[in-house]
Copies of this chain bind each other. A is one copy, B any other.
Amino acid sequence: MCMPNVQFKNLDASAAFGKLREHRTPRKLKELLTADRIEKCEVDATGGLRYNYAAKQVDDEVLDLLQDLADEQQVIDKYKMVANGKVMNTGERRMVLHHLVRGQVDGSVVNEGRNLREFYQEQQGRVNKFAAKIHSGEIRGSTGQLFDTVVQVGIGGSDLGPRALYLALQNFQGRETNGSTRRPRLQAYFISNVDPDDAAEVLSRINLESTLFILVSKSGTTLETLTNEAFVVDSIKKSGIPGLQPKKHIVCVTSETSPLARPGEYLDAFYIDDFIGGRYSGSSAVGGTVLTLAFGKEYFTQFLEGAHQADIASLEPDIRRNASLLDAMIGIYERNILGYPYTAVLPYSQALSRFPAHLQQLDMESNGKRVNREAKPINYSTGPVVFGEPGTNGQHSFYQLLHQGTDIVPLQFIGFHESQLGVDLSFDGSTSQAKLNANLAAQIVAFAHGSENSDPNKTFPGERPSSLLYGRKLTPGALGALLAHFENKVMFQGFVWNINSFDQEGVQLGKTLTKQVLGSGEITPELAALAGKLSITR
């Protein structure tokens, strides 16, 4: 299974980590963050993005040791193993192929005689053709109306990633990629929660006759999603609209072996496979179907190209020339040497309003693990808690604690030179975009340098590390690169920790106990007591 000479060992078995441990007291940011360093400490992150780490507590000595650690843990070799279709999801014994969906990073991957790059391309090709027919009106609703709305029904990775990406590109609705206007594509909504108010609220807003539903579940057995499918179908039936046929308004995105893989029963079905994990599925048909329907294939193609560029750049072994790897290694230093238990993601871009929620899943579900890839317990910290909201909003909310709380939260800023819509106004001597970015620049310096004051309540201790990912504009390509940057960062950290970042056994117990509560068999007295409190009729 392994390539020659690739070894898997725990972080605390690594010699480089032993040396790093002598660096528990980081360099002072008050001295470290200089204009010179701001110019120098920067890496191309592709897609027009750059990763600046001037305000991180790492000097050349620490970076050299982080390079040693990355080398010792053979993170690039392991990435190539992922790219070449080795079984890197050890628990579930699966390949991990979300990179392949956007392009071939290294060798070709063949499974049971099928070239999987071709398979993924074929599926996206089918999505593109389908979307073109929806846009042209060749395929219409069952009562003859043009589809103008799409509702994604899915949860977890079938929801958070696609939703964050949709919101990130929503400002391009009704525009060609060259900026000229055109008829808007489909408006998208999302139903995810099993809370009946979620589906009911979305259904109350839309016109069923002109709405296409995308049912997304790889296994085809996700209880929340099947429940919401039933909810949608029931709602269509109860609408009393003559001629309205539920199944003519639903397409599925699922695996070929799933119970939902019945294209004849639905309007159509597009396929993924077991090698695309839920939280990594934004680039596959899970994200591709809704995004192509919403914006057109040009946008999604550019997004995939942006992500693929970042994937290629992530092959670079030199941490000072590989943005996602460097970000990963600095994160390891912050988590395992400096002991920070969280990271905040702070995009200065309203379009990225739900991107932190997606990164929260991506990171915490991938690396919130307490056993290594061979299922042996480990004795060091793994994935941190990830949270965030867009700036400047967060500044008026939780930044108080970030600046003056008793603990240090490492920060990851994101920013762009230009807004997406380009609609702006000069007020009080500056545009809104300039104000937005002036706030971002000010925060980085304020967090690092702090400020003295004779009143301790007005003193800022500083020494709060941050990095900055920035680019010209949040285009589809930049968004792809941004997503791949974080996916690869998380993957690299998993290699350093020697964990399996691609399974999620931690979700199983809740499912099992839920079934017990909903079933008619005997349950523990504690479950019964809580079911009583929550008024669940058994």
Contact = CB atoms under 8 A, between A and B. Distances in A.
* The 4 residue pairs across chains A and B that have the minimum distance between CB atoms: A368-B401, A156-B396, A442-B513, A35-B525
A420 interface: yes
Contacts of A381: 406-407
Contact of A434 (B407, B418, B537): B537
5 contacts: A38-B529, A371-B457, A385-B398, A441-B514, A442-B527
Given A406-B370, A534-B437, A364 B457 contact: no
A106 interface: no
Interface string A390-406: 11110111111111111
A329 interface: no
Interface in A496-517: 500, 503-514, 516-517
B446 A197 contact: no
Interface string A99-122: 000000000000000000000000
A392 B195 contact: yes
Contacts of A449: 526
Contacts of A509: 403, 446, 450-451, 460
Interface in A195-217: 195-201
Given A35-B528, A196-B424, A440-B534, 15 more contacts: A35-B526, A171-B197, A197-B419, A224-B435, A370-B404, A370-B405, A371-B404, A371-B459, A437-B536, A438-B536, A440-B530, A445-B513, A445-B527, A451-B509, A457-B505
B420 A197 contact: yes
B404 A369 contact: yes
B518 A403 contact: no
A13 interface: no
Contacts of A448: 526
Interface stretch (A2-10, A283-291, A296-304, A342-350): A342-350
A463 to B, nearest CB: 12
A356 to B, nearest CB: 9
A479 to B, nearest CB: 14
Interface stretch (A65-73, A74-82, A227-235): A227-235
A194 B432 CA distance: 6
A1 interface: no
Interface in A363-380: 364-365, 367-371, 375-378, 380
Q: Which of A39, A223, A446 has the most CB of B within 10 A?
A: A446
Q: Which of A349, A402, A441 has the most CB of B within 10 A?
A: A441
Contact of A201 (B361, B421, B443): B421
B442 A510 contact: yes
Interface string A413-447: 00101111101110111111111111111111110
A425 B234 contact: yes
A48 interface: no
A439 B514 contact: yes
B195 A419 contact: yes
Interface in A45-62: 50, 52
A262 to B, nearest CB: 18
A381 B405 CA distance: 8
Contacts of A35: 525-526, 528-529
A26 interface: no
B441 A368 contact: no
A341 interface: yes
A379 to B, nearest CB: 9
A507 B223 contact: no
A160 B390 CA distance: 12
Given A385-B387, A449-B526, A526-B38, A398 B368 contact: yes
Contacts of A430: 518
A226 B429 CA distance: 13
A17 interface: no
A155 interface: yes
Contact of A518 (B223, B392, B438, B537): B438
Contact of A435 (B223, B367, B368, B433): B223
A157 B378 CA distance: 43
A357 interface: yes
Contacts of A341: 341-342, 407
A311 interface: no
B535 A456 contact: no
A370 B461 contact: yes
A529 to B, nearest CB: 4
A196 B433 contact: yes
Contact of A350 (B193, B386, B407, B455): B193
A480 interface: no
Contacts of A505: 400, 404, 457-458
A398 B365 contact: yes
Contact of A397 (B50, B365, B435, B456): B365
Given A446-B513, A509-B451, A514-B439, A397 B156 contact: yes
B398 A361 contact: yes
B397 A360 contact: yes
